[in-house]
Amino acid sequence: MKEGIIGILGGMGPEATLDLFQKIIKNTKAVKDQDHFRVLIDNNPKIPDRTPAIFGSGENPLPMMIETAKNLERAGADFIVIPCVSAHYFIKELREGIAIPVISIIEEVAGEIERRLPGIKRTGLIATTGTIRAGLFHDPLREIGVEVLVPTTEDQESIVMSAIYGESGIKAGFTSLENKEKILKASNALIEKGAQGIIGGCTEVPLVVQQGDMEVPFLDSLNILALSAIRIAKGKVR
């Protein structure tokens, strides 16, 4: 059976795009170059920021997302994955705008919890304010009986958004111990409130936090998406 060609609609941000590609490579069962998948990447950091757009105060990223997705479609991608959670606010219109499937990172995370962590009833969410306010994870997780806990408004802005968007934040290329400690501080506050797992609901979060950094399971949304891309492309996961 012919393998599928993976298309990555990237650039939101560039390091998360690179991280997803690396995770696809590392999770593919391969002993030689030819065992790996064809992966097409359009790393387009010119796509407008999703968070201001969600709040109605920024340029709509959807037209450029569709244009970038069509580039991948024309180049031969069989399906598309997006290493940016907040971009999924626009996934319905994106799916309508192109002819190939777009795999939802949110749906894949919900499926992972249902399959592998069925005992979880409350999970913490570390994500951008846009993702939280839009409730992108809330409805899919509610459907499988999982309550979503989010940071307080103060923690969200002064800790989480500072770690992601600050001048020395992860998006600025600072995958430092300081930013890791900020994410862990916000995560631990949710664990104290009863979270039985923590979702890395922004694709920059797994750049500083990994499984084993906290006392509950950490759901690396990018790794989950990488594994899904491999399965869909009909490969074998290590």
Interval 135-184: pLDDT, tens: 999 999 999 999 999 999 999 999 999 999 999 999 999 998 999 999 99
Q: Does 69 fall in a domain?
A: yes
Which one of the listed residues 84, 98, 163, 209 is annotated catalytic?
84
Give yes or no: 48 in active site. Answer: no
Q: Residue 203, Cβ neighbours under 10 Å: how many?
A: 29
User: Would you say 209 and 191 are in contact if contact means Cβ atoms under 8 Å apart?
Assistant: no
Residue 81: exposure state from Cβ atoms within 10 A (0-12, 13-18, ≥19): buried
Residues 216 and 119 in one domain: yes
Residues 99 and 157 in one domain: no
Please provide residue 215's backbone torsions phi and psi, each rounded to the nearest 5 degrees. -85, -5
Max Cα separation, the chain?
52
Which one of the listed residues 164, 202, 205, 214 is annotated catalytic?
202
What confidence tens digit (pLDDT) does each residue in 199-234 have?
999 999 999 999 999 999 999 999 999 999 999 998
Residues in the chain, how many?
Answer: 238
Give yes or no: 20 in active site. Answer: no
Q: Which domain holds residue 86?
A: 6-105+224-232
Q: Which of 75, 3, 78 is nearest to 35 (CA)?
A: 3
Q: How many domains would you assign to the chain?
A: 2
Residues 88 and 170 in one domain: no
